[in-house]
């Protein structure tokens, strides 16, 4: 009587185990399927390549974006026999028709502080679309550090120009200082001449000859000064022109950098805020957990100590 | 692994997991905020920013009243009264203490009432009203009980009252008790030394007074309390005068005047 019941129980256990195993297997397959979907194992893709002189900033798995959408990823980075770096990129076929053979691959940073991605810069739509094995031109986008570096290198000659310009003006025996000195002398001579003319008017025409002579000398002096000024001014204008055009160029770069950064700064601040908030929450959680909650002093309201002394009245 | 080891491992794991999972009792955000205001006020008080401390204690008190945290209400009312006393706003300080002492709606712990009574006694003493000061000191003793932490402070207050009543012997008696009770509280220990020096001077024992006042000065310098250092220097000037050291007395007065000129309390 007991044996059939026992064997029945065994059969039941076996059935349940089978069901459990099947369920677990099904679940495992489902997870694998989801991983595969997430990793784009089931979407059709086309491999294209680009070549670069060094692999700095590039890594396997890096996202490839086209007009802001992820369209693929970097699959392989290898070195060619001629030391060039060959990068294989897998592009989702869905977007392939949008990328022409003349498109470019560019390594950029998504934000001032952010991860690097390979951006596909669209080429002309008239050109045939990329196919398996196509090779794209590659360029490196400028990051904040390189922009600042180039800005600094462009500012340097301007500053040295300005320094030189200021030095030329201040040079005591330089053209400008000499010209100013000469002009001063001419002014003094003219003033003297006018005085003499006045005196001449009072005392008659006796000294008219000497006055004419001095007037001649003064005019000659003025002529030579103006000549020197004539020579100096074109040089000065030319230098000022160069300086101003350099300054204009730098202003444009600064404007461009500011515009580029302006779009990124709010999101950067937002990210930092979220990060700080998250960090604070984590810290609060840790502080409230054992054993730290025993070690840290509790924030509790405290009494000020009473001071039991009253100073005597002063005479 | 033996069976015993396994059991131990299991027990340890359970204890560790329980300990790690233990989370501190949760306190409301308002309560935490009130505590933060209180702590910022304490810092401001210690740095001599009394007006700012008063503002912060006021904010903490408001929060405590809003969530009816009775201990917090008592603590911050006492603190606010103390800051007002330091700021010279004695009327406001007294009003706050009366609010606490005459509150019919809420029941405060005796330790808070004892402190309020001590502060009242000090305010009366400051006004020169020694009789009422004695009344409030007695009330403080009643609330304080036998193991009261304020016993040393109350002894100092009684010594101060005795000095105001020109009773040198009583002042010496209470300051002696205050010295014994305040061994671990530097502020009150220095107060007791200063009071005892004054009592000795009153009883015509300037040599003893000199030693006590110097000890008080050393502690007050360590504590960095300008008002107390100035009091010690003035007392030392009086002692030197009594000893016939006119020049030294003048020097101590000058030192006290320099501290007063800075205007820090």
Per-residue pLDDT at A20 exceeds 80: yes
Percent of chain B having pLDDT more than 70? 93
In the 3-class helix/strand/coil scheme, how is B95-141 assigned residue by residue?
Answer: HHHHHHHCCCCCCCCHHHHHHHHHHHHHHHHHCCCHHHHHHHHHHHH
What contacts B99, CB < 8 A, 6 or more positions away? B77
For residues B234 and B256, the answer to whether their CB atoms sit within 8 Å is: yes
Four-residue CA torsion sign, A281, A283, A287, A291: positive
Helix residue ranges, H only, chain B: 3-21, 29-46, 50-66, 70-86, 90-101, 110-126, 130-144, 151-164, 168-181, 186-202, 206-223, 226-242, 246-262
**Under an 8 A CB cutoff, do B64 and A301 touch?**
yes
A293 contact residues in B (CB cutoff 8 A): 22-24
The ipTM estimated for the assembled molecules is 0.80
The tokens for B208 are: 């003893």
* Chain B positions in Cβ-Cβ contact with residue A304 (cut-off 8 Å): 42, 45, 78-79, 82-83
Per-residue pLDDT of B223-239, as tens digits, reads: 999 999 999 999 999 99
pLDDT digits (tens, 9 = 90+) for A26-42: 999 999 998 887 766 77
- Euclidean distance between CA atoms B217 and B81, whole angstroms: 27
Residue B189: both structure tokens together: 């220990």
Q: Is the pLDDT of residue A293 over 90?
A: no
**Residue given tokens 């405290």 in the structure block:** A302
User: Above 50 in pLDDT, residue A1?
Assistant: no
Q: What pLDDT, on a 0 to 100 scale, did the predictor assign at position B263?
A: 81
DSSP one-letter code for A42: S
| Of the candidate ranges A34-38, A178-182, B161-165, B210-214, the one whose mean pLDDT is the lowest | A178-182
CB atoms A304 and B82 under 8 Å: yes
How many beta-carbon contacts under 8 Å exist across A and B?
A: 84
Nearest to A308 among B20, B21, B156 (CB): B156
pTM: 0.51
Say if CB B220 and CB B259 are below 8 A apart. Answer: no
A22-36, A259-273, B13-27, B237-251: segment of lowest average pLDDT: B13-27
69-128 of B, contacting A, C-beta below 8 A: 71-72, 75-76, 78-79, 82-83, 115, 118-119, 122, 125-126, 128
Q: In the prediction, which pLDDT does A262 show?
A: 66
Residue B211: the pLDDT is 96
**Lowest mean pLDDT: which of A150-154, B20-24, B59-63?**
B20-24
In the structure encoding, which two tokens stand for residue B213, read together?
Answer: 């006042």
CB A43 within 8 A of CB A14: no
Mean pLDDT of chain A: 78
| Residue B44: closest C-alpha in chain A | A304
Cβ separation of A301 and B154 shorter than 8 Å? no
Condensed to tens digits (0 to 9), the pLDDT of residues A225-279 reads: 677 767 777 777 777 777 777 777 777 777 776 676 666 666 667 777 777 777 7
B198 to A312: CB separation less than 8 angstroms, yes or no: yes
Helix/strand/coil percentages in chain A, nearest 5: 60, 15, 25
Closest Cβ opposite residue B187 in set A289, A305, A313: A305
Q: What is the mean pLDDT of residues B176-192?
A: 94
- Closest by CA position to A246, among listed A168, A146, A154: A154
């Amino acid at each position: 009587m007991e044996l059939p019941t026992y064997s029945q129980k065994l059969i039941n256990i076996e059935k349940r185990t089978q069901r459990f195993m099947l369920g677990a297997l099904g679940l495992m397959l489902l997870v694998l399927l989801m991983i595969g979907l997430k990793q784009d194992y089931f979407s059709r893709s086309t491999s294209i390549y680009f070549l670069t002189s060094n692999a700095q900033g590039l890594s396997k798995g890096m996202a490839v974006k086209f007009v802001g959408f992820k369209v693929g990823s970097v699959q392989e980075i290898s070195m060619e026999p001629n030391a060039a770096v060959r990068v294989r990129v897998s592009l989702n076929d869905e977007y392939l028709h949008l990328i022409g053979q003349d498109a470019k691959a560019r390594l950029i940073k998504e934000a001032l502080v952010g991860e690097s991605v390979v951006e596909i810069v669209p080429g002309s739509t008239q050109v045939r679309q990329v196919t398996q094995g196509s090779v794209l031109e590659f360029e490196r986008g400028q990051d904040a550090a390189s922009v600042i570096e180039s800005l600094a290198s462009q500012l340097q000659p301007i500053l040295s120009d300005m320094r030189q310009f200021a030095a030329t003006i201040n040079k005591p025996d330089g053209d400008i200082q000499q010209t100013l000195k000469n002009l001063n002398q001419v002014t003094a001579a003219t003033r003297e001449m006018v005085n003499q003319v006045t005196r001449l008017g009072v005392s008659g025409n006796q000294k008219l000859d000497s006055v004419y002579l001095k007037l001649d000398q003064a005019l000659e002096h003025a002529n030579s000064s103006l000549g020197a000024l004539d020579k100096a001014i074109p040089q000065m204008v030319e230098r000022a022109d160069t300086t101003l055009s350099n300054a204009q160029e730098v202003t444009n770069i600064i404007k461009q950098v500011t515009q580029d950064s302006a779009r990124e700064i709010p999101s950067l601040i937002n990210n930092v805020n979220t990060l700080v908030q998250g960090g604070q929450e984590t810290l609060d959680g840790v502080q409230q957990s054992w054993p730290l909650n025993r070690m840290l002093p509790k924030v509790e309201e405290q009494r000020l100590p009473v001071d039991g002394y009253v100073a005597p009245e002063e005479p | 692994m033996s069976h015993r080891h396994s059991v131990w491992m299991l027990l340890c794991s359970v204890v560790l997991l329980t300990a790690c999972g233990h989370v501190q009792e949760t306190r409301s955000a308002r309560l935490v905020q009130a505590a933060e205001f209180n702590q910022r006020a304490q810092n401001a008080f210690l740095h001599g920013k009394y007006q700012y401390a008063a503002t912060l204690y006021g904010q903490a008190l408001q929060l405590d009243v809003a969530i009816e945290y009775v201990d917090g209400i008592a603590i911050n009312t006492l603190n606010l009264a103390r800051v007002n006393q330091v700021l010279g706003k004695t009327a406001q300080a007294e009003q706050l203490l009366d609010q606490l002492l005459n509150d019919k709606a809420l029941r405060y712990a005796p330790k808070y009432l004892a402190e309020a009574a001590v502060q009242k006694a000090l305010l009366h003493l400051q006004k020169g009203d020694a009789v009422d000061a004695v009344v409030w000191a007695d009330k403080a003793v009643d609330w304080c009980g036998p193991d009261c932490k304020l016993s040393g402070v109350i002894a100092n207050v009684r010594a101060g009252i005795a000095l105001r009543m020109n009773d040198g012997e009583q002042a010496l008696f209470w300051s002696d008790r205050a010295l014994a009770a305040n061994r671990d509280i530097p502020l009150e220990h220095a107060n007791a030394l200063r009071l005892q020096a004054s009592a000795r001077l009153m009883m015509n024992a300037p040599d003893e007074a000199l030693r006590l006042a110097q000890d008080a000065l050393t502690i007050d310098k360590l504590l960095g309390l300008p008002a107390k250092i100035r009091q010690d220097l003035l007392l030392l000037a009086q002692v030197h005068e009594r000893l016939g050291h006119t020049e030294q007395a003048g020097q101590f007065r000058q030192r006290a005047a320099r501290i007063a000129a800075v205007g820090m309390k």
